[in-house]
Structure 1
Amino acid sequence: MNRQKMNVLLISVDALKPEFITDPKKYGVCLPNISEFFTNNGVYASKGVKSVFPSFTYTCHQTIITGTYPDTHGIYNNIMFDPDGSHKGAWHWFVSDHVPTLWKLAKEHGYCSASVAFPTSVGAQGDYIVPEFWWDGSGLDTKFIDAVSVPQGLASEMEKEIGRFPGGLDLTIDGDCRRKEAAVWLLRNKIKARETEVPFFMTTYFASYDETAHVNGVYSAEALSALEQIDQMVGDLIKTAYEISDRELLICLVSDHGSLDNHHCIRPNVKLKEAGLISVNSQNQVSSWRAWSQRAGGTCEIRLKDEGDLESSEKLKLLMEQLRTEHDNGILEVLTGDQARLTRKGFSKAAYVLVAQKGYEIRDDVCGDYMTTELVQKAQHGYSEEFDEMRASFCMIGPDIPKGKDLGSCNLVDVAPTLAAVMEIPMPTAQGENLCKRFWTED
């Protein structure tokens, strides 16, 4: 395409399901920005976006920004695998070490590259990066976020005008409102001044629908109310992006995964303890482990502490065979590590991966009953990427984008190569499809 490079805004709404875009009235929600604006004026995927394995927030967001599967980018979960607690509950806040991100490539190809609150953005190479990061929810978070922002000091400069940046622990509507204010501030105070000289690529993120659904249920009144408020914030953000743009603007709205309601909790570590692979003390605290299950919502990966421990390996194998054959345990699939890596492109370091049946959320508890109907969260994701309920969303509007075109379905790995094509940036590491090929033809 022979034209001035356009601005690109990527908005992620955590857990936004495709039916909210295609048929919001069915669920009693009014979404003029998330739904009508895109379906009337752009392209959208009515059948949803196939997520990755596992369909968990951090894994998915690194896929969105790199166009690669988890076994390639290396982020397999939200939280780092850490049975001993030596990492103090650290999350995978950081960009992949293995493949380039759109932020890096955009900057290298003449774009002003920016991001506000996008998961897995610590360490991103860009011009203005305020990542999702936290320590303990106190004022220390501001100092940490400021230290890892690009340029260093950006977060504190921003907070002088808009108040405290929410980091990643405030997943409320108020937190999203401040994420929106941060994105608007960045557009008006940093990006606008450069926009006549260079185009911008910017990412931002809204978390409160997902969190409210976890607490109250996917289609609960509380979750739907959060979604309507996010819609207003998306509208404000889009309006600001148009206002500061002297060049053409493309907007892409995505989500990372869907969600479904839970009705049971299951705890594979209870089985590992019963098999002698986890030991606890008199206070039921873990004293040692030879195999450990770490949850990712509706899936979990099980690793051996020592892969050369043949006795533990055999015990684990027997337990996995038992789980595979017994009934009524809430397990849909028992995968070997090779199966997870080769056929599902995730959990490359696992010895085994368990995939739960719909509604059976996996927890990490070691003691207590293996299965209960007492829930920790009313809704969850991380289930099989093959479930329709785990489908994510994709919409795009901008120059030369057909109006009202339904793309049917696509894959989460398609987002990055599609936006790279829009920005005329080569992205040979991407493993997805450039969706523009479905509606753009060569001049």
Structure 2
Amino acid sequence: MRTRRAILSLTALALAGLLTGSPAEARPAVAVTEAKAAERHAVLLISIDGLMPDAVLNADSHGLGIPTLRAMLAEGGHARVINVNPTVTNPNHTTLVTGVPPREHGIYNNRPFEAAATLPKSYSLYAQIKAPTLWGAAKAAGLKTGSLFWPVTGQAGDIDFNLTDGDDEDDRKIADDAIALIERERPELLTVHFVSLDHRQHETGPLSTEARAALERIDTAIGRVVAAQRKAHPDTVIAIVSDHGFFRVTHQMNLNAALAEGGFIVLNAEKAVASWRAFAWYVGGSAMIVLRDPKDARTKARVKAYLRGLAADPANGIEGIHDGGEIASLGLSPDAAFVVAFRPGYRMGNAMTGPLVKDDTGGAHGAFSTRTLRPDMRSTFLIAGPGIAAVRDLGTIDMRRIAPTLAGELRVDLPSAALPPLRLRDR
């Protein structure tokens, strides 16, 4: 757990995020007309990391006391969300604010690729985002922006008041800081990320006793933030989202140990990577296979055959091998030659030696998910505000439609978003 640094003032929050000229700001949104501005709604976008739709839609069956989320469900629209792949935090949070998949926004996984036994640091800097964002569109339209703990927002010049350092598990303090920002600065766009539910589910499994307690604490914190937002902006739109679902882990499969056994990775005496021709990029419930030389057709064919051989043994927990146009059409990293999808209960391990498969516990996500595969990875969307129909079931939606929907509420332009906004009102 990280130690929270004292917030000296809201000016300090602003200075913490000021960096101009990032790629995310390179294509500014077109300024809106005065007529559009007159119809603008302030937007509060809250993410609950790892919130599964069923936790809200069937709260009673899980014994959950979440009055704020249940009120949102009753007041407005809701949907199950088809995520982008990989179904992990950073790519999906970036899609939530850009409306484009990882292949376009550049946040391909939680961590950049590195052929090493130790996982590299996560994507964190806003400059790593290669597509226009909601914050950039709002700022270009002259609006005030704020954010607390949203992933990949380090040194974001588009965010006027930006908190990225501190204890991201202190839900009460996060709410305190959000309320102070709302009351003092009244940003028209505010994004807030709560992550403690995700952490508890990794440790103890989806909707465990500990995870339910975390969600109830987050619900209380969100209730306070929503009340402050509605006081500051009576006609506000509130959106509550998540980034992925969860599954219960029973086994881990050390895919790079298998690739080392197959001769595609060579380890030195210290068991570190000395050389490699194919390496598994860790995701969780899936893995992306990167080739050192993407043009080496012979190695690619050998890797594919080897992976199929691993998948033929049910003990390895591999559900399928995906490649080619399928990967490209889903917007995954151009560096991924293959995606290895694990069966429910299996996740990738990071050991480079030892047994290929071992027992494991807890929870994970990152499974390869499409409209027909792994619905347990679905995430949550709730939205309420002026004119939005109550108890409106929006069905199952593509995550890429959320950013243009919120841009529409702000009356700002996000032309890079390829999909249309959701229809929230009958008129």
TM-score range, shorter chain: 0.7 to 0.9
Which stretches of structure 1, 4 residues or longer, exceed 6 Å deviation after superposition? none
- Residue of 250, 268, 281 corresponding to 2:268: 281
Give the C-alpha shift of residue 181 in structure 1.
2.3
Residue pair 2:116, 2:272 contacting (<8 A) in 1 also: no
Residue pair 2:117, 2:350 contacting (<8 A) in 1 also: no
Cα 1:311–1:388 shift into 2, 3 Å: closer
- Give the structure 2 partner of residue 122 of structure 1: 154
1:155-175 deviations in Å (ceiling 9; x for gaps): xxxxxxxxxx32xxx5x3xx3
| Match status 1:9 vs 2:44 | yes
Q: Give the Cα–Cα distance (whole angstroms) in 2 for the partners of residues 181 and 128 of structure 1.
A: 18
Is the partner of 1:407 in helix, strand or coil? strand
TM-score (norm 2): 0.85
Could you tell me which amino acid in structure 2 is paired with residue 414 of structure 1?
R
Cα 1:97–1:210 shift into 2, 3 Å: closer
- Give the structure 1 partner of residue 336 of structure 2: 350
- Give the structure 1 partner of residue 25 of structure 2: none
After TM superposition, list the pairs within 5 Å mapping 1:201-216 onto structure 2.
201-216=189-204
Q: Give the Cα–Cα distance (whole angstroms) in 2 for the partners of residues 76 and 400 of structure 1.
A: 36
- Give the structure 1 partner of residue 134 of structure 2: 102
Give the C-alpha shift of residue 265 in structure 1.
0.4
Cα 1:208–1:97 shift into 2, 3 Å: closer
Q: Give the Cα–Cα distance (whole angstroms) in 2 for the partners of residues 303 and 6 of structure 1.
A: 44
Cα 1:51–1:97 shift into 2, 3 Å: closer
- Give the structure 1 partner of residue 217 of structure 2: 229
Residue pair 1:34, 1:231 contacting (<8 A) in 2 also: yes
Give the C-alpha shift of residue 309 in structure 1.
4.7
Cα 1:267–1:85 shift into 2, 3 Å: closer
Residue pair 2:147, 2:161 contacting (<8 A) in 1 also: yes
- Residue of 229, 249, 265 corresponding to 1:241: 229
After TM superposition, list the pairs within 5 Å mapping 1:295-314 onto structure 2.
295-309=282-296, 312-314=299-301
Could you tell me which amino acid in structure 2 is paired with residue 362 of structure 1?
M
Cα 1:369–1:127 shift into 2, 3 Å: closer
Could you tell me which amino acid in structure 1 is paired with residue 259 of structure 2?
L
Q: Give the Cα–Cα distance (whole angstroms) in 1 for the partners of residues 98 and 351 of structure 2.
A: 33
- Give the structure 2 partner of residue 366 of structure 1: 352
1:35-61 deviations in Å (ceiling 9; x for gaps): 2x112211112xx11111111000100
Cα 1:128–1:293 shift into 2, 3 Å: same
Is the partner of 2:316 in helix, strand or coil? coil
Give the C-alpha shift of residue 426 in structure 1.
2.2
Could you tell me which amino acid in structure 1 is paired with residue 203 of structure 2?
V
Q: Give the Cα–Cα distance (whole angstroms) in 2 for the partners of residues 291 and 131 of structure 1.
A: 38
Residue pair 1:13, 1:207 contacting (<8 A) in 2 also: yes
Is the partner of 1:408 in helix, strand or coil? strand
Cα 1:306–1:244 shift into 2, 3 Å: same
Give the C-alpha shift of residue 252 in structure 1.
0.5
Is the partner of 1:351 in helix, strand or coil? strand
- Residue of 62, 84, 98 corresponding to 1:27: 62
**Structure 1 residue runs without a partner (length 5+):** 133-144, 146-164, 193-198
Residue pair 1:323, 1:334 contacting (<8 A) in 2 also: no
Q: Give the Cα–Cα distance (whole angstroms) in 1 for the partners of residues 229 and 359 of structure 2.
A: 46
Cα 1:85–1:105 shift into 2, 3 Å: farther
Q: Give the Cα–Cα distance (whole angstroms) in 1 for the partners of residues 316 and 159 of structure 2.
A: 50
Give the C-alpha shift of residue 293 in structure 1.
0.5
1:199-219 deviations in Å (ceiling 9; x for gaps): 611101000011101101112
- Residue of 176, 181, 187 corresponding to 1:186: 181
- Residue of 254, 257, 260 corresponding to 2:244: 257
**Structure 2 residue runs without a partner (length 5+):** 1-34
Cα 1:323–1:131 shift into 2, 3 Å: farther
Give the C-alpha shift of residue 314 in structure 1.
4.4
Q: Give the Cα–Cα distance (whole angstroms) in 2 for the partners of residues 75 and 366 of structure 1.
A: 25
Could you tell me which amino acid in structure 2 is paired with residue 223 of structure 1?
A
Is the partner of 1:332 in helix, strand or coil? strand
Q: Give the Cα–Cα distance (whole angstroms) in 1 for the partners of residues 48 and 302 of structure 2.
A: 42
| Match status 1:429 vs 2:424 | no
**For this pair of structures, how many residues does the alignment match?**
388
| Match status 1:111 vs 2:143 | yes
Q: Give the Cα–Cα distance (whole angstroms) in 2 for the partners of residues 238 and 438 of structure 1.
A: 20
